[in-house]
Amino acid sequence: MEYETVIGLEIHAQLLTRSKIFCGCSTKFGEEPNTQVCPVCIGMPGVLPVLNKRAVDFAIKTALATKCAVNEYSIFARKNYFYPDLPKNYQISQYELPLAIKGNIEIVVDGNVKKVGITRIHMEEDAGKNLHEGIEDASHVDLNRTGVPLMEIVSEPDMRTPEEAVAYLKKLRDILRYLGVCDGNMEEGSFRCDANVSIRPVGQKELGTKAELKNMNSFKFVQKALEYEIDRQKELLEDGKRIIQETRLWDSNKGVTISMRSKEEAHDYRYFPEPDLVPLVINKDWIGEIRNGLPELPDAKRARFVKEYGLPEYDAELLTSTIAMADYFEGCVKLYNQPKAVSNWIMGDLIRELNENNIDIADSPVSPQKLTDMLKLMDKGIISGKIAKVVFEEMFKTSKDAEAIVQEKGLVQVTDESEIEKVIDEIIKANPDQLAEYRSGKDKLFGFFVGQVMKESKGKANPAKVNELLKKKLQ
């Protein structure tokens, strides 16, 4: 039987505020355990939570960027459950009246554009962290993360393949990064993804029984976990078995999803309105203010790069993957109006060096000024494209100007005809067999001679001149 996969994603994004959502404790990651806690976030009796205004601003930003309708009136609710990382025994979240509803994000998979609906966006507080490894007969609890502001973004079950799910995730992460509301780090857990997956026979309207997948902390794992789960469900149905609604954990070591039976029991959270917090009312002025402050978003920027700079879609997509990269590109183009040449250097040598050295493009040792100065040296014929690669590497290592490197290393291109002729003569003399073959009609050997001359001149000979002179000499 042919099956169709149905995937919906729930994202938890940590908001980049300085302080927690309901108290003034710092949200800084990686600090000493239990040093960023106070009576409010560790649930002492008699304290009152007070909502962080910036967290609300960030959630509104996200809602607008994902075309959601911001609810004028929203309230907070208590979600009640017991777990050691939850000191109050309830999580302050939003339930019946979330901050925003009904938006969408556009994704592109295999050249096809698709809209993925967003059901809702709500605000809530994060829980603490339980540690188990290397501890005998006990677990340890660190409450630094307790009360860090989170945004939960719930999609419609609109995705049909793991590829679509990953495209949605990436697009959402890019948007959050553009907005500056979340750093989008899946490994560190500031951008977490749970997936609801089910399959149904093609043509069937009703959804199949779903499994909820957790613990996928990279895009690759999301892809793999979904692929595994879809296969698992197909096999079950084909064997005439039933799919059980349950939570399953992705085990990246074994490459499988595992049932998490402990969580199945009593999914009864007894939500009720949080009496310690007053309603949140977001009027049109507030929304307007946030809307005016929105940056150009990835889709708009990509489209503009194609239109304004005449770049291929592929280049535009890559160059707009982060604001920093796009800014770098536009910084270069302002200084040197050859968008495609700039794009090639960024996508090739620059990104390779940055990745190899684990440096962010905003901190690149080769600034837009330095890169474009080098490109201008090429245009003037002072260095060849081949030498430029050497100069670039040196610039990356030393942060020196291209011109200084060219001088220091004597890399100026040789255009003087007599000097090039001298090299050509030597090469011809040293390769009599190849010369004979070439003259007897083996045209392919022309490339061999060019290569030899360039090698002999250590890449400094002007390639156009070499071609021109070689043609004459070889006749």
Partner 1 sequence: MKITKKEVEHVALLARLKFSEEEKETFVKQLSGILGYVEKLNEVDTSNIEPTSHVIKMQNVFRDDVVTDSLPREKALSNAPDKTEKFFRVPKIIE
Residues that bind partner 1 (CB under 8 A): 17-19, 23-26, 32-39, 42, 50-56, 75, 80, 82, 84, 130-132, 135, 137-143, 249, 260, 262, 266, 268, 270, 273, 275, 277-281
Tell me, what amino acid is at 409? K
Contact between residue 211 and residue 246 where contact means Cβ atoms under 8 Å apart = yes
Report CA 334 to chain centroid distance, whole Å: 26
Of 159 and 216, CB closest to partner 1: 216
Question: Mapping DSSP to helix (H, G, I), strand (E, B) and coil, where does residue 222 land?
Answer: helix
Q: Tokens in use for 153?
A: 């973004």
Residue 231 and residue 215: Cα distance in Å, rounded? 18
Please report how close the Cβ of residue 35 comes to partner 1 at its closest, in angstroms: 5
Please report how close the Cβ of residue 26 comes to partner 1 at its closest, in angstroms: 5
Please report how close the Cβ of residue 149 comes to partner 1 at its closest, in angstroms: 9
Of 130 and 357, CB closest to partner 1: 130
Of 30 and 432, CB closest to partner 1: 30
Residue 129 and residue 282: Cα distance in Å, rounded? 32
Please report how close the Cβ of residue 120 comes to partner 1 at its closest, in angstroms: 18
Q: Tokens in use for 455?
A: 């090698």
Bridge partners of 149? 125
Of 80 and 209, CB closest to partner 1: 80
Angle between the N-to-C axes of helices 432-439 and 463-474, in degrees from 0 to 180, rounded to the nearest 10: 70
Of 146 and 196, CB closest to partner 1: 146
Of 55 and 311, CB closest to partner 1: 55
304: nearest Cα among 285, 330, 322: 330
Angle between the N-to-C axes of helices 323-335 and 368-379, in degrees from 0 to 180, rounded to the nearest 10: 40
Residue 395 and residue 47: Cα distance in Å, rounded? 57
Contact between residue 435 and residue 470 where contact means Cβ atoms under 8 Å apart = no
Question: Mapping DSSP to helix (H, G, I), strand (E, B) and coil, where does residue 195 land?
Answer: strand
Q: Which helix (H) or strand (E) holds 103?
A: strand 100-109
Please report how close the Cβ of residue 297 comes to partner 1 at its closest, in angstroms: 23
Contact between residue 41 and residue 23 where contact means Cβ atoms under 8 Å apart = yes
Please report how close the Cβ of residue 146 comes to partner 1 at its closest, in angstroms: 11
Tokens 């290592």 found at: 397
Of 77 and 466, CB closest to partner 1: 77
Please report how close the Cβ of residue 131 comes to partner 1 at its closest, in angstroms: 7
Please report how close the Cβ of residue 396 comes to partner 1 at its closest, in angstroms: 37
Tell me phi and psi for residue 27, to 5 degrees: -100, 5
Please report how close the Cβ of residue 31 comes to partner 1 at its closest, in angstroms: 10
Of 21 and 371, CB closest to partner 1: 21
Q: Tokens in use for 58?
A: 């960030």
Of 128 and 157, CB closest to partner 1: 128
